[in-house]
Amino acid sequence: MSSQISLRVNGVALTRSVEPTQLLVDFLRQDLALTGTHVGCDTGQCGACTVHLDGHAIKSCNMLAVQAAGHEVTTIEGIASKDGSLHPMQLAFKQCHGLQCGFCTPGMVMSSIDLVTHHKADTETKIRDSLDGNFCRCTGYHNIVKAVVAGGQAMKA
């Protein structure tokens, strides 16, 4: 039996009917067409599905849509400025060549923003440790770490 949930997604208040077993990632991708949030494993390991729930990074394949009721969800589509300019962390990934195929990138960016905002990860080792829940099959992580450093500095400027 479906139930109605009300929540905010990327600053917009929504009320939708969802099945009790529907994952948050499927709700975002299928019901709201926010396909920037990716599915890489569905088992909570890869981090491709990372979004923010009330400003903190969570893996949206690990959460039911009904559990997001009453909360604020932010996806990669919601972090750029209204004029379309990239978030400082997005810009840093672009400028530092922190992506290749881009599949992991939305989750990496969302985790990195959380990392800079809520955790002190100011060395390469700490950044690598903190991002160990986000897998990248392409880059070897070196430029991702550089991007997180640069993005963090830009966010604090």
Are 148 and 127 spatial neighbours (Cβ–Cβ below 8 Å)? Answer: yes
Size of interface with ligand FES, in residues (CB under 6 A)? 23
Considering the complex, state which of residue 67 and residue 100 has its C-beta at the smaller distance from ligand FES. 100
Q: Is 111 in the site for ligand FES (CB under 6 A)?
A: no
Q: Is 31 in the site for ligand FES (CB under 6 A)?
A: no
d(CA 4, CA 58): 22
Q: Is 138 in the site for ligand FES (CB under 6 A)?
A: yes
E strand spans, the chain: 3-9, 12-18, 50-53, 56-59, 72-74
Are 101 and 95 spatial neighbours (Cβ–Cβ below 8 Å)? Answer: no
Considering the complex, state which of residue 11 and residue 102 has its C-beta at the smaller distance from ligand FES. 102
Q: How far is the CB of 4 from ligand FES (least distance, A)?
A: 25
Single out the residue of 95, 100, 117, 143 in contact with ligand FES (rule: CB under 6 A): 100
88-95 and 142-156 are packed helices; what angle lies between their axes, rounded to 10 degrees?
Answer: 140
Residues that bind ligand FES (CB under 6 A): 39-42, 44-49, 59, 61, 99-105, 136-139
